[in-house]
Chain A
Amino acid sequence: RKEVEQDPGPFNVPEGATVAFNCTYSNSASQSFFWYRQDCRKEPKLLMSVYSSGNEDGRFTAQLNRASQYISLLIRDSKLSDSATYLCVVNPGDYGQNFVFGPGTRLSVLP
C-alpha cells in the first residue's frame, strides 16, 4: 500500500466552483500534515498545515480524520490562479523526519 495516496485527477473546474481534494495515509503514527501547492516545474510551497480540529484560511479549508487516516482540502470560489498541483504531505514521525509526499492532484480552473 502506498504511503500517501491522493485523487488521481486532473480536476477541471470553472471559475467560482468549489473543489475538494482527498488524501489518505498509511502510517497511523504520522504526526503532522500539510497541503502544499506546486506550480509547473517549481518548488512545493506550503498552502496550509492541517490540524486535528480542522482549519480554515480564507477560501481554503483543511480537515483531518486520524481514525480514518484521511485528509481533505476544500477550495471555495476557485480562481484561475488556483490552477496548480496540490500535494498532500505527511510527516510520519518526530521533528526532523523527512516528509512523505503524495503524487499530487492537478487542478485547472477554467475561465
Chain B
Amino acid sequence: EPEVTQTPSHQVTQMGQEVILRCVPISNHLYFYWYRQILGQKVEFLVSFYNNEISEKSEIFDDQFSVERPDGSNFTLKIRSTKLEDSAMYFCASIPPRASHTEQYFGPGTRLTVT
C-alpha cells in the first residue's frame, strides 16, 4: 500500500538555524498538508498546498515558515530561523482525488528538537 514518507525521522538543530523537513506524498494525491504536534498537545494545522501554491495557512505559519514542491514528488517545509518553541513532531499528510469522506494519510513524522 502506498505511504507518505518523511525525512529525517529526527532532526536536532540549534536555535537560529534553518531546517528543511522533507515529505514524499502518495503519488496521485492532490492536496498536501503540514501539521505539527508539540509534545503532549494536540495536532495543529500549519499549511495546505494545492496546485503548486498555498491553499490555506494557520496563524502559526508565519514568515519564518515556507513550503515548496521543488519537483514532482517532494514537498518541503522550511523553518528559516528556528526557535525553542518550534520543537515538535511535524507531520506531512496528503489526500487522494475527491471522494466522499476523504481521509488524510499521514507520514510518520519528523521530530524536530531545537536546542
Contacts and interface: CB of A to CB of B under 8 A. Distances in A.
Contacts of B56: 97-98
Nearest to B48: A98
A41 B107 contact: no
A16 interface: no
A96 B109 contact: no
B42 to A, nearest CB: 4
- Residue from A32, A49, A96 whose CB has the most chain B CB atoms within 10 Å: A96
Interface in B1-58: 30-31, 33, 35, 41-45, 48, 50, 55-56, 58
Contacts of B109: 41-43
Interface of A: 32, 34, 41-46, 49, 51, 87, 91, 95-104
15 contacts: A42-B108, A44-B43, A44-B91, A44-B106, A49-B101, A87-B43, A95-B95, A96-B30, A96-B31, A96-B48, A96-B55, A98-B33, A98-B58, A101-B42, A102-B42
